[in-house]
Structure 1
Amino acid sequence: MALTRIYLIRHGATILTAEDRFAGATNVPLSDEGRTQAGHLAQRLKGLPVAAFYASPLDRTMETARILAEPLQLVVNPCDGLREISHGHWEQLTRAEVEQQFPAEAAAWDEDPFTFAPTGGESGLAVTARALPAFMDIVRQHEGESVVVVSHKATIRLLLSSLLGFDPRKFRDNLDQNPAALNVVDFKNAVRARLMLFNDTSHYSEDTLIKPDTPKACLSSWWAK
Structure 2
Amino acid sequence: MMIYLVRHGQTDLNKKNVMQGVSDTPLNEEGLKQAYNVKEKIKNINFDICFSSPLKRTLDTAKIITDGKCNIVTNNLLIERDLGRFEKMPYDDYKKYDFWNLKENLNYNKVEPVKNVFKRAKKFLKEIKNSDYKTVLVVSHHAIIRALHFNIIGYDDSTSLLSFHPENGKIYKYEI
Does the TM-score normalized on the shorter chain lie above 0.5?
A: yes
Structure 1 CA distance, aligned partners of 2:89 and 2:175?
A: 36
What is the 5 A alignment of 1:64-213?
Answer: 64-70=61-67, 73-98=69-94, 106-107=97-98, 109-112=99-102, 115-143=105-133, 145-166=134-155, 167-172=157-162, 174-187=163-176
Equivalent-residue separation in structure 2 for 1:25 and 1:164 (angstroms): 26
| Cα root mean square deviation, aligned | 1.7
**Does the aligned pair in 1 maintain the 2:102–2:114 contact within 8 Å?**
no
Q: Given residue 75 of structure 2, which amino acid in structure 1 is its aligned partner?
A: C
Structure 2 residues not aligned, in runs of 5+ = none
Do the aligned partners of residues 36 and 171 (structure 1) sit closer, same or farther apart at CA in structure 2, a change above 3 Å counting?
Answer: same
Unaligned runs of 5+ in 1: 188-225
Q: Which structure exhibits the higher relative contact order, with contacts defined as CA atoms closer than 8 Å and separated by 6 or more residues?
A: 2
Counterparts of 2:142 and 2:9 in 1: how far apart (Å)? 10
Residue deviations 1:100-120 (CA, integer Å, cap 9, x gap): xxx6xx12x233276223411
Kept in 2: contact 1:56–1:83 (CA 8 A): yes
Amino acid at match of 2:18: R
Q: Which has the larger radius of gyration?
A: 1
**Take 1:22 and 1:90, find their aligned partners in 2: how far apart are those partners?**
7
Q: Distance in 2 between matches of 1:163 and 1:37?
A: 25
Identity of aligned residues (%): 25
Give the aligned partner of residue 56 of structure 1: 53
20, 27, 31: which is aligned to 1:30? 27
Distance in 1 (CA, whole Å) between partners of 2:104 and 2:50 is 28
Q: With structure 2 as the length reference, what TM-score do the two structures score? A: 0.91
Q: Which runs of 4+ in 1 moved over 3 A?
A: none
Rounded Cα–Cα distance in structure 1 between residues aligned with 2:92 and 2:22:
19
The answer on whether the counterparts of 1:87 and 1:118 sit within 8 Å (CA) in structure 2 is no
What is the letter of the counterpart of residue 78 of structure 1? T
Q: Distance in 2 between matches of 1:114 and 1:153?
A: 20
Kindly indicate whether residue 12 of structure 2 is the aligned counterpart of residue 18 of structure 1. Answer: no
